[in-house]
Amino acid sequence: MGVCTSSPDPIDAKQQKPKKNGKENDAEKIKLLLLGCGESGKSTIFKQMRILHGKPQSAAELLRLRDIIRANCTMLIVALAHFVKDEASVNALLSAGERKSFDKIVDSVLSDFDDKNVETNANHCMALQTELQLLWKSAAFKEAWSRRASTDAIDGHNTFLDSFDEIVSKDYEVPSHHLLLSRVRTEGVISHSYIIDGAEFEMFDVGGQRYFRKTWFDCFEDVAAIIFVASLSEFDQMLAEDKSKNRMTEALDLFSSVLDNNYFEKTDILLFLNKKDLFANKIRTSDIAAQTDFSDYSGKPNDFDSGVNYFIDKFVAFNEDPERQVFVHITCATDTSNISFVWGSCKEIILESNLKASGLF
C-alpha cells in the first residue's frame, strides 16, 4: 500500500472483454478510469483535470453551467423541503410568512419534481427565487440542513444558496469554485484527452449509480490505472437509490469488486478518499461507531486522523495481492491546489507503471 498524507451491482470478473476498436493511436494513450459510487466526487476530479490541463469552458458550456447551478439551488430546497414536510417538529418552526412560501414550493415543484430536467429546475429557481431565498434563511431549513444526512441534499450546495443573489442575477458568470461544486448526474461515459509532459492521457468518467455501472465494461480494456473515488463524509448517509444501504458500505463493496475483477489484475489502483473537508466538519458531531456498519470502530471519537485511518484500513484490506499496489490519497476534489498536488504524485506512478508494462523500465 502507498499512503499519501441490498448489495451493489458487482463487476463481473467473468465478463468477456470487448473487442479492440482498431484505432492504432489508442495504444499510445495512457488510459485512466475514474470509478466510484454516485456523488463521490468523480466528476469534480474530472472537471479539475480540465481546469489544470485542458481547454477553458466555451461560452455555450458556461451558459449550460449557469442553468445547472440554478437547478442545483432548486434541487437543494426540494431535498430539504421533503424533510421539513415529513418532520412535524421541524415543520412547526416555519413562520406564517415562510409557510406561504413553503406551500408554494410544495404546490409548484415538490409534487412533480424531476431531478433530471435541468431547464425546468433552472426556471423554477428564477420564478421562485423570493421563496427559495426566504426558506433558505428560515429556522426550519437551517435545522433541515443540519440534519442533511437524512436527506438527499448535496454537501457544498449551501454555497449556492449563500450566493443566491449573485446566481439569479442576469449578469451571473460562473466562477471556477461554482463550476466545481455544480452537480449534474453523469450518465453513460464521457472522456477527455490531455497532453501532459509529452504523454497523452485519456480519462474516462462514468456514471456511478448502480444502473449506470453496466456501461463500465466498455471502458475496461487497456487501462493503465484506476482512480477509485470514495467520499469520506458519507459514512453516516444512505444511498439515494436504496435507503437501506449505507453509502460508505456501498463504496467498500464496489471497491472490493474492482479488486476482484480479472481485467485489473495488473492494474495499479489510486484510491482517492475524497471530501476530507466535509469529513472534518462532520466528524465533530457524528460518531462513526454509532453507525451500524461501523460499530467496530475503536478509534478516538470525533477525531479526523483516527477516522481517516480506520477507513483506509477498511479499503486496503480488500487487496490480497502483494504484487498490486493501492496508493491512497486523502483529497478535496473542489480544491484545485490539492488536486494539482495529488495528480503530480499520481502522474509519476502512472508513467512508471506504463514504462514497466512497455518493457522500457
Per-residue pLDDT reduced to its tens digit, 230-258:
999 999 999 877 889 999 999 999 999 88
| CA distance linking residue 320 with residue 35, whole number of Å | 20
Domain count, the chain: 2
Confidence of residue 355 (pLDDT cuts 50, 70, 90): low
Domain residues for 98? 59-173
Torsion angles phi and psi, residue 331, rounded to 5 = -125, 160
Q: In this predicted structure, what is the pLDDT of residue 207?
A: 66
pLDDT interval class at 76 (50, 70, 90): very high
Is position 310 within any domain? yes
Percentage of the chain lying above the pLDDT 90 cut: 65
**What number of other Cβ atoms are within 10 A of residue 21's Cβ?**
7
Query: pLDDT tens across 123-148, in order?
Result: 999 999 999 999 999 999 999 999 99
Domain end: 173, 207, 232, which one? 173
Instruction: Provide the pLDDT for residue 58.
Output: 93
Question: Which has more pLDDT, 152 or 296?
Answer: 296
Residue 20 is predicted with a pLDDT of: 45
Higher per-residue pLDDT: 265 or 179: 179
Indicate the residue type of 73: C
The predicted structure's pLDDT at residue 282: 95
Looking at the structure, do residues 209 and 162 belong to the same domain, yes or no? no
> Beta strand pairing status for 189-196 and 199-206?
antiparallel
C-alpha cell at 132: 427559495
Question: Is there a single domain that holds both residue 260 and residue 128?
Answer: no
Residues 6+ apart with CB under 8 A from 24: none
Whether residues 193 and 336 share a domain: the answer is yes
Q: What's the gap between Cα 69 and its chain centre?
A: 16
Quick one: 150 and 66 in the same domain? yes
Cα separation, 178 vs 39, whole angstroms:
16
Q: Is the pLDDT of residue 4 over 60?
A: no
Q: What is the pLDDT of residue 177?
A: 94
Same domain (yes/no): 169, 301: no
Nearest to 272 by CA among 25, 45, 38: 45
In tens, the pLDDT along 311-332 reads 999 999 999 988 888 999 999 9
Question: Secondary structure of the chain: what % helix, strand, coil (to 5)?
Answer: 50, 15, 35
Q: Rounded CA gap, 354 and 342, in Å?
A: 18
| Residue 20 within any structural domain of the chain | no
- What is residue 173's predicted lDDT score, i.e. its pLDDT? 94
What pLDDT is recorded for position 271? 97
pLDDT value at residue 17: 41
> Is 101 in the same domain as 153?
yes
For residue 359, is pLDDT > 60?
A: no
Helix (H, G, I), strand (E, B) or coil at 46: helix
pTM of structure: 0.84
165 and 260 belong to one structural domain: no
Q: Which residues are annotated as a binding site for Mg(2+)?
A: 43, 186
- Which residues belong to the annotated binding site for GTP? 39-44, 180-186, 205-209, 274-277, 333
* pLDDT tens digit sequence for 6-52: 344 444 433 334 444 444 555 578 989 899 988 899 999 999 999 99
Residue 65 lies in a domain: yes
* Better-scored residue on pLDDT, 150 or 179: 179
Does the pLDDT value for residue 216 go beyond 50? yes
Does position 272 have pLDDT exceeding 50, yes or no? yes
DSSP per-residue string spanning 150-189 = GS-PPTTTHHHHHTHHHHTSTT----HHHHHH------SE
Q: Which of 57-66, 130-139, 149-158 has the lowest mean pLDDT?
A: 149-158
Q: What DSSP string runs through 280-329? A: HHHTTT--GGGSGGGTT--S-TT-HHHHHHHHHHHHHTT---TTS-EEEE
Task: Render pLDDT for 77-121 as a digit per residue (tens, 0 to 9).
Answer: 999 999 999 999 999 999 999 999 999 999 989 877 777 789 999
Domain boundary among 118, 139, 173: 173
Residue where a domain stops, chosen among 173, 203, 230: 173
Do 283 and 319 sit in the same domain of this protein?
Answer: yes
Task: Say how far apart CA 269 and CA 266 lie, in whole Å.
Answer: 9
- Taking the C-alpha atoms of residue 338 and residue 165, their distance in angstroms, rounded to an integer, is 29
Mean of per-residue pLDDT scores for the chain: 87
Beta strands in 37-72 (DSSP E): none
Same domain for 139 and 85: yes
Of 29, 92, 40, 30, whose CA–CA distance to 252 is shortest?
A: 40
The kind and range of the H/E element at 177 are helix 176-181
Owner of C-alpha cell 466510484:
36
Is-contact 4 345, C-beta < 8 A? yes
What letter does residue 63 receive in the DSSP assignment? Answer: H
Say how far apart CA 196 and CA 360 lie, in whole Å: 19
**Torsion of the alpha carbons at 84, 86, 88 and 89, rounded to the nearest 10:** -50
Is residue 22 situated within a structural domain? no
Known binding-site positions: 39-44, 180-186, 205-209, 274-277, 333
Backbone CA torsion sign across 63, 68, 72, 74: positive
Sort strands 2-4 and 326-330 into parallel, antiparallel or unpaired: parallel
CA distance 211 to 107: 30
Backbone angles phi, psi at 55, to 5 degrees: -85, 150
Q: What is the pLDDT of residue 86?
A: 95
